[in-house]
């Protein structure tokens, strides 16, 4: 069953004309990038007043793909396959090759 979207809802969600961000200063892309990669905590406030805290940190060996790269490599298997194909074209003097017999 499809959700019906009302035209009034679309108009309500649109940016209002009085909001002008063209002269906004201090906005920096990636300002918290390094801190986020180092780890962060999330506090979840429940309706009953309880607060649960969850800590997030990238696991050892984990990498974060940029959005434009993620379009082409949606999962770990596709990333590993592409990197293995690149490893194969690296000149043999620069790598040690072990072939199974």
Cβ–Cβ under 8 Å, residues 65 and 79: yes
Task: Please give the backbone phi and psi of residue 87, each rounded to the nearest 5 degrees, phi first.
Answer: -60, -35
Task: Output the six-digit token pair for 14.
Answer: 């649109």
Q: Is the pLDDT of residue 84 over 90?
A: yes
Return the pLDDT at 101: 60
CA distances from 90 to 5, 61, 67, 83 (A): 52, 22, 26, 11
Q: How far apart are the first and last CA of the chain?
A: 57
Give the mean pLDDT of 66-83. Answer: 91
Instruction: Please give the model's pTM, rounded to 2 decimal places.
Output: 0.39
Cβ–Cβ under 8 Å, residues 56 and 38: no
Return the pLDDT at 9: 56
- pLDDT tens string 9-46: 555 667 777 877 777 787 787 788 778 778 888 899 99
CA distances from 20 to 9, 15, 23, 68, 100 (A): 22, 10, 7, 28, 63
């Amino acid at each position: 069953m499809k959700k019906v979207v009302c035209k009034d809802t679309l108009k309500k969600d649109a940016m209002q004309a009085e909001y002008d961000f063209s002269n906004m200063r201090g906005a920096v892309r990636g300002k918290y990038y390094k801190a986020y990669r180092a780890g962060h905590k999330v506090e979840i406030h429940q309706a009953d007043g309880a607060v649960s805290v969850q800590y997030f940190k990238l696991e050892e060996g984990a990498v974060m793909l940029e959005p434009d790269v993620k379009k082409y490599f949606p999962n770990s298997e596709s990333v590993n396959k592409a990197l293995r194909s690149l490893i194969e074209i690296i000149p043999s003097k620069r790598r040690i090759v072990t072939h199974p017999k």
